[in-house]
Amino acid sequence: MDSCAVGRQAQKAPGEQASPTPSESVMKMKQLIDPGTVMVPCPVVLVSVGDKDKANIITLSWAANVCSEPPMIAIGVRTKRHSFELLRHAGDFVVNVPSRTLLKAAVICGTKSGRDVDKFKVCKLTPQPSLKVKSPGIAECPLNIECKTRQIVELGSHHLFIGQVEAVHIDDKVLTAKGEPSAAKMGLFVFLPLTGEYRSLGAQMKP
């Protein structure tokens, strides 16, 4: 069949509407919402910073691994938060990954200001001496990641603190018999900015 014949077949009768393309059909089933921080899920971490006697804790979900060699973590912190100035001056911080038993503490550390309360005391958490940085970790968290600040990136409402991982501590209780980390034993949970919910991790998936 020649190209002219194809063109004649493609023509529609007067008043006949063209059928929607697959992509148009999909778009009709979706709603456009305002741009925002809707990436899901997000980790929940307790970042501790400052000298042992004046250390503070801030709960963050803007946190991610951003480099493998050398290992680096980035955390986004609002400039109005008390911990922001502590982070700027300390030059280091500890990313503590909590289990779901620490959900209440995570909420308190994310909603109360260190200007007003001692979060370690209020949440009954124990400062854990670090090996490579001055900021203490949190003994009750099964995973503690000591970081030295390498770069601060100004973004807008938040600044990005990029830290190089200097030491990692993991609780023996969350290891398997083979000495490997167990997600089930750690009792991890995440935050969903899209819905404002905390959710525990489900069953393991295999491809």
Residue corresponding to tokens 């503490």 = 105
pLDDT for residue 145: 98
* DSSP-derived secondary structure letter, 187: T
47 is a domain residue: yes
Q: What is the pLDDT of residues 126-147, one digit of tens each?
A: 999 999 999 999 999 999 999 9
Buried b (16+ CB within 10 A) or exposed e, 122-160: ebebebbebeebbbbbbebbbbbbbbbbeeeeeeeebbb
Q: What's at 15, amino acid-wise?
A: G
> What pLDDT score was predicted for residue 38?
93
**CA–CA gap between residue 132 and residue 134 (Å, rounded):** 7
Q: Are 92 and 134 in contact (CB under 8 A)?
A: yes
Average pLDDT, stretch 192-197?
95
Q: Is residue 16 part of a domain?
A: no
pLDDT at 18: 67
Adjacent-strand bridge partners of 37:
none
In a domain, 29, yes or no: no
Question: Residue 110, SS3?
Answer: helix
Q: What is the pLDDT of residue 21?
A: 74
Contact 186, 200 (CB under 8 A): no
Specify the DSSP element, H or E, that contains 78.
Answer: strand 72-78
Q: Is the pLDDT of residue 107 over 70?
A: yes
Which amino acid is it at 28? Answer: K
| Per-residue pLDDT, 4 | 42
Mean pLDDT of 2-31: 61
According to DSSP, residue 152 is labeled E
Q: What's the rounded mean pLDDT across residues 102-106?
A: 98
pLDDT at 9 over 50: no
Predicted pLDDT at 55: 96
Which range marks the domain in which residue 114 is found? Answer: 42-200
Q: Which pLDDT belongs to residue 17?
A: 67
Interior CA angle at 166 toward 181 and 101, to 5°? 40
The residue assigned the tokens 């938060």 is 81
In degrees, rounded to 5, the angle at the alpha carbon of residue 183 between the alpha carbons of residues 177 and 184 is 80
Average pLDDT, integer, range 81-87: 97
**What one-letter code names the amino acid at 69?**
E
The answer to whether residue 126 is domain-embedded is yes
Report the alpha-carbon distance of residue 205 to residue 83 in Å, rounded.
37
pLDDT tens column, 149-163: 999 999 999 999 999
- Say if 90 falls within a structural domain: yes
CATH number at residue 165: 2.30.110.10
Residue 6: other Cβ atoms inside 10 A: 9
Residue 52's pLDDT is what?
75
> How many domains would you assign to the chain?
1
Q: Indicate whether 53 pLDDT > 90.
A: no
Grade residue 6 by pLDDT with cuts at 50, 70 and 90. very low
Q: Summarize the confidence of residues 19-45 as an average pLDDT.
A: 85
